[in-house]
Structure 1
Amino acid sequence: MRWLAWVRWLLVAGLAVSAAGVFAQAGETVRIAFIDPLTGPVADIGRNSLRSWQFVAERKGGAGNPAGVRFVIAPFDNKGSPQESLNALKAAIDQGFRYVVQGNGSGVAHVLADAIARHNARRPDRPVLYLNYAATDPALTGERCSYWHFRVEADTAMKVRALVDFLAGQPELRKVYLLNQDYAHGQQVARHFREAVAERLPELQIVGDELHPPFQMRDFQPQIQRIHQSGAQAVVTGNWGEDLTAFIEMMQTAQMRLPLFTYYAALSGAPSALAKGHTLFPVYQVAYHHSNPPGELGRLAAEFRRRHQEDFVVFATHTGITLLGEAMARAGSTDTRRVAEAMEGLGIAVLGGHATLRADDHQLLQGLFVSRWSPVDTRYPLGAEGTRHTFVPLQHLTGATLAQPSRCNMPKR
């Protein structure tokens, strides 16, 4: 019977080796470079994003994720500049970082994605993985996709489709005015809105399509006048940061009552501007979150506000850390090459349901909410930025409904 004992020993040893491989990463520290504006016109949003990443990394580190790894987020200020972003990326790589997160600016995202792909081709032994949490140009997961780039936010085409589907249920709105920042993001919002309207809602008339210099406008009065003269019944804007806040304030000063459809009205500054001016017009937001999430996310948002005295609005930070933890557990490693493989096709629970990171192009397919700025009540008691108003969800569209056909021809590495 000695051979049976030998077989048992081999089986036990094999299981032990297998378990060691699966949990070899437990207790490791994964350092992530955060490359986004911490100074300049959108610094408040950049700093909120950084604090959100650091907060979620703390909450979901160690026993908070199935891999048992600890996450550390280190800030690199790119000042909103593509060149500064390249400098920050080089510094991060030189310091040994193998994970990068960035979101504020599709132009920066393209530069980083290209630079990381070149680095990984030169140094296949030290590949860098890039999580994009807010840059929404569809080309990043389309014709200019990269194996090392993963987007954990809905792209512009998905967001526009959600808005157009909502507008289809508003038969009284038949004339809209587009106002966007004149750079990649704003141009994409305008282009995809026109295309979606032509395909899905041809009776909707676009009576104005205006682009303006980003983060340079102080007076939107000329735009307000043109909107009024156009006969528009609503305004659609992809603006964010100071440009959105300034436009909201100008609409209030002009006592406009047209509905305003946005994508970023929950970001820092905009809710306070809406509340301060006693908004006369309906305000809507298309986003993957709203102000009163249930369950774990609601508890996390409440704790973040207590700690930082500001809103937790960058929910993609929670999505990104969750995906990394799940992928590292699946891979049994923190090696970026193995984690990238494990992330493809990975599904996780998100606010509103389920999300899947599509293997074909590394685009996260997740649902989106259409919410309206409304007074708090017993069902939605948490006000945005401490105000007595909040974004109340009106409609939720699933990721499968919003998914666009993949246009990525991505070589495997």
Structure 2
Amino acid sequence: MSRVRNTVLASAVAVGASAQAAPLKIGLVETLSGSQASTGLMFKTATRYVIDQINAAGGWNGEPVQLVEYDNQGGPAGASDKVKAALADGVQLIVQGSSSAVSGQITEDVRKYNLRNPGKEVVFLNVGGEALELTGDKCHFYHFRFNPNAQVRVKALVSAMKQDKVLGGKVYSINQNYSWGQDMQAAILANAGAGGYQVVGETLHDVNKIQDFAPYVNKIAESKADTVITGNWSNDLLLLMKASKAGGLRARFGTTFLDQPGNIANAGEVALGAYVVHAFNSDANGKESEQFAEDYKSKTGHYPVYVEGQTVFGLQVVASVLKGVKAQNGKLNTNTFAKALETAKFKTPLGESEMRAADHQLLLPIAVSEVRKDARYKADNTDMGFKTVRLFTAQEAAAPVQASCKMQRPN
């Protein structure tokens, strides 16, 4: 009898140990090498910052959360292969941000996998892909977006520049010719009424292939635009601004990604007076934003810029939800987790944020800043930085749910 009893106890201990021994795995499927790695590495740094916070607080299910990195090498095909590898490794939550094209591939891979594998679903945590379709006709229950999109960014940018009386009545729209740039062009036109301006010209150009923007600058000058609004990033933004300086263009710039590291150093004083709309700026909310910025610097060696703030806040929402979700059979039940996440609320250093259940778009505060020499936090080791001129609450910045999103939930 005692032998049977001991065997039962031993089995119970083994089951309990195995339940505790299965750590939650979060997979970062990101661009970690190649020409676009600088952005991917920023997503990695911000993700690691939050994972370290989770583990310092005890991890999840009594075990440290594991962050597993997968280099997608910057393309959808590479990302798809890495998603398969992550799934084979037992990853339950996938994080990615660089490139809407890659986000589109991952969200489709996740959707199809979940349909084929009921009970083993994984969740895609999108911290950077901004294409509208991701929370539009491609929306699904296992995709969550924690960053803004073109509608949100342009709405806030136009409002702030109008209030500062620097927008003017004539706006030129120049953007890259793919989903993001097309979303931007549509948003610039859609906000003309609220902004009180006329779109006097529109350009969609090849992505990162234009070496001389002088012909485009000439078109802008001929349009007599007061302001140029652009969603351009990387070299396409830098070369556009440099050509504007060389051509003596007097129009002011309203941008979405001027805070990408290197842009201010390369653009020089041509950037002065330009505006940028972003999900975080270190001076945007007094002590709360400054304390976060200082803590981030103490852990990473630099202040949070560009995509880092939105990534941290989004994954902190995830961390707050994980606290309330108990393990089932030693693992995370991703359906339970997703149902809790789609109604989550979380206070960030810029204010309250909340996940919108209708399309899984996080509503988050948005800052608009101007490039000035009296900014407290300098950029790129220059004498210039981003000084916040307006902080919008999550509700003020929000754009409506797209009619194309038909969210279907599991029973």
Please give the range of the TM-score, normalised by the shorter of the 2 chains. Answer: 0.7 to 0.9
Deviation string, structure 1 residues 170-213 (Cα, Å, up to 9, x no partner): 27601111111111101101012212224x24x41111111111
- Residue among 394, 397, 409 paired with 2:389: 394
Q: How far apart are 1:304 and its partner, in Å?
A: 4.4
Task: Confirm or deny: 8 A CA contact 1:237 1:262 kept in the other structure.
Answer: yes
Distance (Å, rounded) in 2 between the aligned partners of 1:64 and 1:262:
41
- Residue among 254, 274, 287 paired with 1:283: 274
- Residue among 250, 271, 290 paired with 1:298: 290
Name the stretch that deviates more: 282-291 or 329-338.
Answer: 329-338
Task: Confirm or deny: 8 A CA contact 1:190 1:209 kept in the other structure.
Answer: yes
Task: Confirm or deny: 8 A CA contact 2:132 2:149 kept in the other structure.
Answer: yes
Task: Provide the secondary structure at the position in 2 that maps to 1:361.
Answer: coil
Q: How far apart are 1:83 and its partner, in Å?
A: 1.3
The answer to whether residue 332 in structure 2 is matched with residue 344 in structure 1 is no
Alignment RMSD (CA, Å): 2.6
- Residue among 194, 210, 217 paired with 1:217: 210
Task: Confirm or deny: 8 A CA contact 2:124 2:143 kept in the other structure.
Answer: yes
Rate the CA distance shift 1:306–1:345 in 2: closer, same or farther, 3 A. closer
Deviation string, structure 1 residues 309-337 (Cα, Å, up to 9, x no partner): 55422112211321121111222233322
The answer for the alignment partner of 2:25 in structure 1 is 31
Q: How does 1:70-81 map to 2 (within 5 A)?
A: 70-81=64-75
The answer for the alignment partner of 1:178 in structure 2 is 173
Task: Provide the secondary structure at the position in 1 that maps to 2:129.
Answer: coil
The answer for the alignment partner of 2:360 in structure 1 is 362
Q: How far apart are 1:252 and its partner, in Å?
A: 3.2
Matching residue's letter, 2:369: S
- Residue among 298, 322, 325 paired with 1:331: 325
Task: Confirm or deny: 8 A CA contact 2:288 2:349 kept in the other structure.
Answer: no
Q: How far apart are 1:258 and its partner, in Å?
A: 2.0
Task: Confirm or deny: 8 A CA contact 1:133 1:151 kept in the other structure.
Answer: yes
Name the stretch that deviates more: 152-161 or 179-188.
Answer: 152-161
Task: Provide the secondary structure at the position in 1 that maps to 2:168.
Answer: coil
Distance (Å, rounded) in 2 between the aligned partners of 1:289 and 1:172:
22
The answer for the alignment partner of 1:10 in structure 2 is none
- Count the aligned residue pairs: 384
Task: Confirm or deny: 8 A CA contact 1:367 1:396 kept in the other structure.
Answer: yes
Task: Confirm or deny: 8 A CA contact 2:288 2:350 kept in the other structure.
Answer: no
Q: Percent identity?
A: 26
The answer for the alignment partner of 2:12 in structure 1 is none
Task: Provide the secondary structure at the position in 2 that maps to 1:385.
Answer: coil
Q: How far apart are 1:307 and its partner, in Å?
A: 5.9
Task: Provide the secondary structure at the position in 2 that maps to 1:289.
Answer: coil
Matching residue's letter, 2:294: A
Q: How does 1:228-267 map to 2 (within 5 A)?
A: 228-267=221-260
Task: Confirm or deny: 8 A CA contact 2:242 2:270 kept in the other structure.
Answer: no
Distance (Å, rounded) in 1 between the aligned partners of 2:288 and 2:20:
23
Rate the CA distance shift 1:114–1:92 in 2: closer, same or farther, 3 A. same
Rate the CA distance shift 1:231–1:296 in 2: closer, same or farther, 3 A. closer
Distance (Å, rounded) in 1 between the aligned partners of 2:344 and 2:245:
45
Q: How does 1:301-312 map to 2 (within 5 A)?
A: 301-305=293-297, 309-312=301-304
Deviation string, structure 1 residues 134-159 (Cα, Å, up to 9, x no partner): 11122211232110000011222111
Task: Confirm or deny: 8 A CA contact 1:41 1:215 kept in the other structure.
Answer: no
The answer to whether residue 185 in structure 2 is matched with residue 187 in structure 1 is no
Distance (Å, rounded) in 2 between the aligned partners of 1:172 and 1:140:
30
Distance (Å, rounded) in 1 between the aligned partners of 2:245 and 2:146:
34
Rate the CA distance shift 1:64–1:136 in 2: closer, same or farther, 3 A. farther
Task: Provide the secondary structure at the position in 2 that maps to 1:168.
Answer: helix
Name the stretch that deviates more: 136-145 or 340-349.
Answer: 136-145
Unpaired segments ≥5 residues, structure 2: 1-17
Rate the CA distance shift 1:120–1:179 in 2: closer, same or farther, 3 A. same
The answer for the alignment partner of 1:14 in structure 2 is none
Name the stretch that deviates more: 165-174 or 123-132.
Answer: 165-174
The answer for the alignment partner of 2:8 in structure 1 is none
The answer for the alignment partner of 1:3 in structure 2 is none
Q: How far apart are 1:31 and its partner, in Å?
A: 2.2
Q: How far apart are 1:235 and its partner, in Å?
A: 0.8
Task: Provide the secondary structure at the position in 1 that maps to 2:216.
Answer: helix
Name the stretch that deviates more: 278-287 or 185-194.
Answer: 278-287
Matching residue's letter, 1:269: G
Task: Confirm or deny: 8 A CA contact 2:158 2:167 kept in the other structure.
Answer: no
Rate the CA distance shift 1:292–1:60 in 2: closer, same or farther, 3 A. farther
Matching residue's letter, 1:85: A
Q: How far apart are 1:355 and its partner, in Å?
A: 0.4
Rate the CA distance shift 1:256–1:345 in 2: closer, same or farther, 3 A. same
Q: How far apart are 1:163 and its partner, in Å?
A: 1.9
Distance (Å, rounded) in 1 between the aligned partners of 2:221 and 2:100:
31
The answer to whether residue 158 in structure 2 is matched with residue 164 in structure 1 is yes
Task: Confirm or deny: 8 A CA contact 2:292 2:349 kept in the other structure.
Answer: no
Q: How far apart are 1:296 and its partner, in Å?
A: 6.1
Q: How far apart are 1:168 and its partner, in Å?
A: 3.4
Rate the CA distance shift 1:221–1:352 in 2: closer, same or farther, 3 A. same
